[in-house]
Every structure is written in C-alpha cells, then in structure tokens.
Amino acid sequence: MSRIRSATARRIYDSRGKETIEVRLETVEGVVGAVGAPSGASTGAHEVQALPKGGVAEALATFAERVAPALVGRATEDQSGWDATLHEVDGTPEFSRIGGNTATAASVALARTHAAATGQELWSVLRRPGVDGQTFPAIVGNCMNGGRHAIGGPEIQEFHAFSPAPRPADSVRAALAVHQRVGALLQKRLPGYALGRGDEGGWVAPLGNLEALEVLVDACTTVSAELHVPVYPGLDLAASEFFRDGRYRYRERSVDAEGQIAFLAELVDRFGLKFLEDPFQEEDYDSFAALTAAVGSKTLVVGDDLYTTSSARFEAGLARKTSNAILIKVNQVGTLTDTFRTVDLARRHGVGTVTSHRSGDLPDGWLAHVAVASGAAGLKCGLLGGERVAKLNELLRLGAATGA
Ligand code: PGA
Ligand code: ZN
C-alpha cells in the first residue's frame, strides 16, 4: 500500500487560454501523478461550480490551507475515502468553496498516482463491474462548431462524426476523415471565404443549421463508402443556449417544444442521425421522453445539460424514460466517485454512457481511460488540436494493446 506524501496545486492554462488548476501528488516512494481540470463554456445550470468566487487565486490558497492537509497521508487505493474528504473539506453541495475544478484535478490525480504506484493502467484501476477492457467506445468527433463555441456559425453547437466501428484504429480514422472531408466541402461551397475553427477544433463557416448538416451528411456518406467503416452524422444542440421565453430561437424561425420534437424527429429520419444530444432545454424531461419514444430505436438520445452527470438528476430521468444515453463529464460533479455512481446506475439500467471532454481542455489522455473503464458507448471529443488528439491517441494505444 502506498501513501500520499505531498499534494500541491498550481495555475495552468487550458486550450482557450483560461486559467485552471493542476494538482500534483507524490507518494512516499516518490511516485508522481499530476492532472489538470478542463472547463466548459456552455455549462449546465446544475453543474458544480468550477472555481470559488475569487477564481484560481482563491482556489490555490484554499488548496494549500485546507485541502492538502486533509489529503496528505492517505492511501492511494482509497479513492472513495479521498473523494469523500474533498466533499467534507468543501462542505457545500456544489463545491463552491474549494471549486469543482480543484476537486476534479485532485480526484483524477489520485487514480493516476495509484495506477502508477501499482504498475497498472489507469482504466484498470477505474474499471466498472463487468467491463473487460476489450470493447471500445464509438468515436463522437466534433467536425463543425456553432453556438457558444464559435462566432458566426449555426445555432446548433456541434456537428459530429459518430463512428461505432469496434476497433479504435477504424473509428478514429473514419472520424478524422470526415473532418477533413467537411473542410474540403466547405471550401468548395464557400469559395473565397476564410474558414475558421471553433473551441473544439471543428470547422466554423457562415452556414445555417440545415446547410451545415447537409455538408456533414455528405462527408459521412463518402467516407463510410471509401473506408468501409461505419460513420454517421450526429448533433449536440446544446438547446438551452438558444431557448428563450418558451421557444427555441433559430435565426429564421422559432418553435415551441412540440415543434422542436417534430423538427428533430424529421432530421433523424431524413439524415440518418445516430447521436442527438441536448435537443431540449435542460429542465424539459418530458420532451426528451417524447423524442426518445419516437426515435430512440434509431439514434442515441443523450442528456448532457439535462443531467449534468448527477445521479439524482439521472434517477429522475430513468423513472420517466427520458433518454437512452447520458453524457458523462467528471468535472460536472467534481469527483470520480460521483461520476461512477452515475455510470454504474446507467449500466444497471441499460442506458448508454458517453464519456466527454470539455470545450476548454488539456493535452492529456485520461478521458480515454474513463471511457474504457466505463464500458462507454461513446467517447466524445474533438478531432483536431493537441488537447483533442491526445484523447484519440490514448484510445488508439489502449486498442493496440488488446490487438483491436
Ligand atoms: P462545454 O460544452 O464543455 O462548453 O460545456 C460541451 C457540451 O455542451 O457538450
Ligand atoms: Zn453538450
């Protein structure tokens, strides 16, 4: 058994150039594990608070004064005790004193340190009951950005390539090929325009939602035919971001919840969508349930801002058959223990989990381990930029280790 000798925190920057926290742990034997916390932009209302009111400076001071003294001396194998201590030291339901980012970095850093101290892969330390580490998540890769992640793009926040090929080598290759193909199609369609890229590495172009979706569908069709690898279109609407006064406000029109259900059910049929995240605002369990009943046999219907990885919010959804999948983001709840409580609940009820990055992220691959350890249906991440590719490359490594 190994124990933590020192716990320190420092200020680092994420892929948006925003300040965040890295926690570094060292065992008495000198084994080191360090992890930085990612941050969202279209955060759900029910997520824990990323930083205390005084920002990173206050988070660092609190870590040194109150968090580190409570953690030093603990056994590396006691993840649940460690995470419980983070809650105790904080003392609020939303981590508003120590900050959810501090909790996330400290929680994942312990798992990483324990894995290193015991010579195990991180996924193996985190493995859920019944997971063999031989099956790999589909890639949900961001190809085009809109909403809060891009200026001048469509209202829909993310347009994804969804590749459920069983081997990471195939799914990663197919998703990347769709991203490249989308770029080429956009250049053809908008000659003379400067194309940009959004926070998650997807293309940004001055197109409407349907035009952007047509480009994505075209790219998916071509790539799956060329590579003989399945890859389908998917969307994260992040619909809370364009919901005001009871209506979903698109540039050219607005619809109520019923209109939104009809619009999305039509998109699923017309374009063969296989992944549909946050199609409604974050409190509307009923519309989620209606859409899942209508199209849940054809596509994943995924709750992100709806559940914010909270087991309590997810339980409320289970009772109402709200969705057939849930997005999992560790820093929405702040610890691995809280995260896996929700993952285990989903697994018991046959609801798929999709392990997700944040729009502000770091060049680190631990997320791929969380996905494999969860037996996740998908790994949602960007496709371009070092902080995105790090997760893909780590999944490739895990796949290669099993011959997949
Ligand atoms: P965020 O967005 O990381 O900016 O919250 C990602 C998402 O909505 O899935
Ligand atoms: Zn989302």
pLDDT > 90? residue 150: no
The rounded percent of the chain whose pLDDT value lies above 70 is: 100
- Residue that the structure tokens 């193909």 belong to: 181
- 57-92 tens-digit pLDDT: 999 999 999 999 999 999 999 999 999 999 999 999
* Cα–Cα nearest to 30, from 5, 48, 55: 5
Burial class (CB in 10 A: 0-12, 13-18, 19+), 167: middle
**Confidence at residue 95, expressed as pLDDT on a 0 to 100 scale:** 98
Give the nearest ligand 1 atom to 327 CA.
9
**Confidence at residue 1, expressed as pLDDT on a 0 to 100 scale:** 87
Position 54 confidence tier, pLDDT thresholds 50, 70, 90: very high
- 273-311 tens-digit pLDDT: 999 999 999 999 999 999 999 999 999 999 999 999 999
**Confidence at residue 372, expressed as pLDDT on a 0 to 100 scale:** 98
Give 236-260 as a DSSP string: E--GGGGEETTEEE-SS-EE-HHHH
CA 387 from centroid of its chain's CA atoms: 13
Position 365 confidence tier, pLDDT thresholds 50, 70, 90: very high
Whole-number Å distance, alpha carbon 42 to ligand 2 midpoint, is: 8
Whole-number Å distance, alpha carbon 114 to ligand 2 midpoint, is: 31
pLDDT > 90? residue 42: no
pLDDT > 90? residue 149: no
How many Å apart are CA 193 and CA 213, to the nearest integer? 19
Average pLDDT over residues 197-202: 94
Sorted by sequence, the CB contacts under 8 Å of residue 268 that are 6+ apart come out as 276, 295, 298, 299
Which helix (H) or strand (E) covers residue 393, if one does?
helix 386-401
Position 47 confidence tier, pLDDT thresholds 50, 70, 90: very high
CA 272 from centroid of its chain's CA atoms: 23
Mean of the per-residue pLDDT values for the chain? Answer: 97
Whether residue 41 has its Cβ less than 6 Å from ligand 1: yes
Burial class (CB in 10 A: 0-12, 13-18, 19+), 74: middle
Cβ < 5 A residues, ion ligand 2: 236, 278, 304
253, 242 Cβ separation under 8 angstroms: no
227, 173 Cβ separation under 8 angstroms: yes
Which position has the higher pLDDT, 138 or 193?
A: 138
**Confidence at residue 404, expressed as pLDDT on a 0 to 100 scale:** 85
The rounded percent of the chain whose pLDDT value lies above 90 is: 96
Crossing angle of helices 55-62 and 100-118, in 10° steps, is 50
How many Å apart are CA 250 and CA 125, to the nearest integer? 45
β-partners of residue 4 are 27
Give 329-382 as a DSSP string: -HHHHSSHHHHHHHHHHHHHTT-EEEEE--SB--S--HHHHHHHHHT-SEEEEE
Whole-number Å distance, alpha carbon 373 to ligand 1 midpoint, is: 22
pLDDT > 90? residue 147: no
Q: For ligand 1, pick from 200, 357, 358 the residue to mutate: most ligand atoms within 8 Å of CB.
A: 358
What φ, ψ does residue 177 adopt, rounded to 5°?
A: -65, -35
**Confidence at residue 243, expressed as pLDDT on a 0 to 100 scale:** 97
Whether residue 14 has its Cβ less than 6 Å from ligand 1: no
Amino acid sitting at position 232: Y
How many Å apart are CA 358 and CA 141, to the nearest integer? 13
User: Is residue 298 among the annotated active site residues?
Assistant: no
- Residue that the structure tokens 């580490």 belong to: 133
Whole-number Å distance, alpha carbon 41 to ligand 1 midpoint, is: 6
106, 7 Cβ separation under 8 angstroms: yes
Give the nearest ligand 1 atom to 359 CA.
3
**Confidence at residue 302, expressed as pLDDT on a 0 to 100 scale:** 98
What is the number of the ligand closest to the CA of 358?
1
- 91-137 tens-digit pLDDT: 999 999 999 999 999 999 999 999 999 999 999 999 999 999 999 99
| 3-class secondary structure, 27 | strand
Average pLDDT over residues 345-360: 98
pLDDT > 90? residue 158: yes
Q: For ligand 1, pick from 359, 361, 362, 388 the residue to mutate: most ligand atoms within 8 Å of CB.
A: 359
Count CA within 13 A, CB hemisphere, residue 126: 32
Whether residue 304 has its Cβ less than 6 Å from ligand 1: yes
Whole-number Å distance, alpha carbon 313 to ligand 2 midpoint, is: 16
pLDDT > 90? residue 160: yes
Residue 247, phi-psi category: left (phi > 0), alpha (psi -120 to 50), beta (remainder): beta
Whole-number Å distance, alpha carbon 68 to ligand 2 midpoint, is: 32
Give the nearest ligand 1 atom to 357 CA.
3
| 3-class secondary structure, 161 | strand
Average pLDDT over residues 162-166: 98
Give the nearest ligand 1 atom to 149 CA.
4
Average pLDDT over residues 12-16: 98
Whether residue 42 has its Cβ less than 6 Å from ligand 1: yes
Crossing angle of helices 311-319 and 336-348, in 10° steps, is 10
**Confidence at residue 151, expressed as pLDDT on a 0 to 100 scale:** 80
Position 348 confidence tier, pLDDT thresholds 50, 70, 90: very high
User: Is residue 200 among the annotated active site residues?
Assistant: yes
- 324-340 tens-digit pLDDT: 999 999 999 999 999 99
